[in-house]
Amino acid sequence: MSAFIFGFHHLQVLSGNPKITAVGRAIRTRSGHQRPEAIGTRSGPQRPKALSAKQPCAAGHQRLNNSANITSAKTKATAHTIPNQGASQPMPTLIITYLFLLGLALGSFYNVVALRVPAGQSVIHPPSRCGSCGTRLRTRDLIPVFSWLLAKGRCRHCGVPVSWLYPLGEAATGLLFVWTYLRFGLSGEGMLGLLLASLAVIVTISDLHSMLVPNKVLLAFLPLLAAMTFSVTDQPWWSHVLGAVAGGGILLVLVLLGGMGMGDAKLFALFGGVIGFPGVILAFLAACLLGTLIGGGLRLAGSIGRRQPIPFAPCLAAGTLLTWGYGSQIISGYLSLIG
Ligand SMILES: [Zn+2]
């Protein structure tokens, strides 16, 4: 429970931190998804420069560099190198470590949301217990990933196996948070990326566990995603509306044809609204490719029957995150290939 409280507390801190949002807006450019800062974070040599602009002291730091350039030609070289390197080197590691731990803690809470909400249970009460023997879990049972690994995936009290979905949700959230930071830095897009990753993890765990995408979860994320989308992305408003209509519409056709749930359609309308049009088409194609590969692999391995459906929300979430991170590069690369 303490891990959940820790996570929830940080969720509030993170989402309400005006400093991070302000810095994000300060470094935001108007060049679509191909921001120099964001792209720079993916390659070694550009990284110190990119990350230095994302520190909480970015504005002051910039002034320091400017004044050094203007007032002292002799110190020009050192002003460019020493302050950047000296100030920025520890920060990425610290931020990555913090975001990974935050992701682990929030992932623990997301597991609770993903497993309890479809069952109509409260996410706060009762405290976490072993599903088999009913023993209330203590702090050392609730350390994300590590408790599960140390206990070899079993309850410490009764020895019954504990689902691998728990460490999966926790580790996935931690890793996705780090990826979001490396891709977008502490920017508005980065914040929106954390929200998208959070929804992706919750619906993935929920769909894998109970083949459901809970309405309550979608409704909780809808206002947050809508507000963030319209305040940080550069696409026109109609692109997001078209993305939502196309995403929901395509999935609705599949629902009517059978084999897909309404939860998937509502989820993809929400994802489509965030990534907009034409990104939503790329996300759908990526989800179908992933679903075909995973479904085909499981059928070949004999893990599922020939006509047994597989949860599609994880594929939609993965396609959406792929498009969110690299959609403009993939689309422009494809267009240059055919044209
Ligand atoms: Zn037990």
pLDDT tens profile 249-277: 999 999 998 878 899 999 999 999 999 99
The pLDDT of 130-153, averaged and rounded, is 90
Instruction: Look at residue 235 and tell me whether its pLDDT is greater than 50.
Output: yes
CA 47, CA 181: separation in Å to the nearest integer? 12
CA 200, CA 315: separation in Å to the nearest integer? 10
- State in Å: Cα 129 to ligand 1 middle: 8
CA distances from 100 to 8, 92, 140, 172, 272 (A): 15, 12, 19, 10, 27
- State in Å: Cα 169 to ligand 1 middle: 20
- State in Å: Cα 106 to ligand 1 middle: 23
The pLDDT of 23-42, averaged and rounded, is 36
- State in Å: Cα 136 to ligand 1 middle: 9
The pLDDT of 187-205, averaged and rounded, is 95
- What per-residue confidence (pLDDT) applies to 48? 38
Instruction: Look at residue 35 and tell me whether its pLDDT is greater than 70.
Output: no
- State in Å: Cα 105 to ligand 1 middle: 22
In degrees and rounded to multiples of 5, residue 161 shows phi and psi of: -60, 140
The pLDDT of 51-70, averaged and rounded, is 38
The alpha helices in the chain, defined as continuous H runs, are 2-15, 18-26, 36-40, 47-52, 58-71, 76-88, 90-116, 146-150, 165-184, 188-210, 215-232, 237-257, 262-275, 279-300, 313-338
- State in Å: Cα 21 to ligand 1 middle: 43
- State in Å: Cα 7 to ligand 1 middle: 24
- What per-residue confidence (pLDDT) applies to 171? 96
- State in Å: Cα 175 to ligand 1 middle: 28
Fill in the DSSP letter of residue 202. Answer: H
Contact 110, 202 (CB under 8 A): yes
- State in Å: Cα 157 to ligand 1 middle: 5
Instruction: Look at residue 11 and tell me whether its pLDDT is greater than 60.
Output: no
- State in Å: Cα 132 to ligand 1 middle: 5
User: What band does 192 get if pLDDT is binned at 50, 70 and 90?
Assistant: very high
- What per-residue confidence (pLDDT) applies to 90? 52
CA 168, CA 316: separation in Å to the nearest integer? 17
- State in Å: Cα 174 to ligand 1 middle: 26
pLDDT digits (tens, 9 = 90+) for 64-107: 344 334 334 333 333 333 334 444 455 789 999 999 999 999 99
User: What band does 53 get if pLDDT is binned at 50, 70 and 90?
Assistant: very low
- State in Å: Cα 150 to ligand 1 middle: 15
CA 260, CA 81: separation in Å to the nearest integer? 55
Q: Tell me which residue has tokens 């470590």.
A: 97
Contact 213, 313 (CB under 8 A): yes
The pLDDT of 55-72, averaged and rounded, is 39
- State in Å: Cα 8 to ligand 1 middle: 25
CA distances from 51 to 41, 187, 287 (A): 7, 11, 32
- Measured at the alpha carbon of residue 219, what is the angle toward residues 217 and 220, in degrees to the nearest 5? 65
Q: Which residues contact 215 (CB under 8 A, 6 or more apart)?
A: 263, 266
Instruction: Look at residue 154 and tell me whether its pLDDT is greater than 90.
Output: yes
